[in-house]
Structure 1
Amino acid sequence: MTSEEVAQNAMQIILHAGEARKYCMDALKDIEKGDFDGAKDKMKLANAEIVKSHRVQTNSIQKETQGEKGEYSVLFAHAQDTLMTVYSEINLAKRLIDIFESFHQRLTQLEMTNK
């Protein structure tokens, strides 16, 4: 791979990971408002974007394992770091949806019991 191809792949990884992060943050805002369905919908969009990002990374790695040499790139390393960070954010947001939805359900039941 040429350094230009490596840079283009890195930018695609960053682009899609950034979109995934945006949807993830939007989902967290929905959680804050108690809109769990909206949060889950946003997480589906985040997941779709992170999959696109991951595919670019995987294709790049596969080319190298097939003997196509590429130059080391700080930009590509940054892209991989961004991808993994956003993966973590997505995993945390998914857990937060479950936690807050469960908390909301329990609180609603408690309020109904106390009426």
Structure 2
Amino acid sequence: MSEDTKDTSVKSTMEIILHAGDARVLIMQAMDCLGEFDYDKAEKLMKDAHEKLVLAHKLQTDRLQEEAEGKDVEYSVLFTHAQDTLMTINTEYNIVKHLIGVFKARDEKEGK
């Protein structure tokens, strides 16, 4: 693997971590809005978080596709960390998205 390829790989891996981290910040802000019963703002933040997760996931998929195509892909602890980070934050996203729906349904049922 050439140095340019390694540099590109590290840059791409860091972008996964950064996009996922940005999504986490938005998800936590959405949780705060959920606690304040501001569902519209929470949903907007979750939409923004989803966009960040999609970017991170695309970068991850591109890297995995390279290996599937038989390209020389060196094992990377950093990439493993990026995948773990993305997976964890994606789980947080799914939980918060579900909670927003639960809270909204509860409030609608109670006539709030």
User: What is the TM-score when the length of structure 2 is the normalising length?
Assistant: 0.91
> Are the counterparts in 2 of residues 3 and 70 from structure 1 also a CA contact under 8 Å?
no
Match of 1:43 among 30, 46, 51: 46
Structure 1: stretches of 5+ with no match in the other structure: 110-115
Match of 2:110 in 1: 107
User: What is the TM-score when the length of structure 1 is the normalising length?
Assistant: 0.89
Q: Which has the larger radius of gyration?
A: 1
Q: How far apart, CA to CA, are the structure 2 residues paired with 1:107 and 1:65?
A: 52
Deviation string, structure 1 residues 37-57 (Cα, Å, up to 9, x no partner) = 111101100000000000000
Q: How far apart, CA to CA, are the structure 2 residues paired with 1:53 and 1:108?
A: 39
Q: How far apart, CA to CA, are the structure 1 residues paired with 2:54 and 2:26?
A: 13
> Do structure 1's residue 62 and structure 2's residue 79 form an aligned pair?
no
In structure 2, what residue type is equivalent to 1:50? L
> Are the counterparts in 2 of residues 6 and 73 from structure 1 also a CA contact under 8 Å?
no
In structure 2, what residue type is equivalent to 1:22? V
Q: How far did 1:108 drift?
A: 3.2
Structure 2: stretches of 5+ with no match in the other structure: none
In structure 2, what residue type is equivalent to 1:41? K
CA RMSD of aligned residues (A): 1.3
Identity of aligned residues (%): 42
SS of residue paired to 1:22: helix
Match of 2:94 among 91, 95, 113: 91
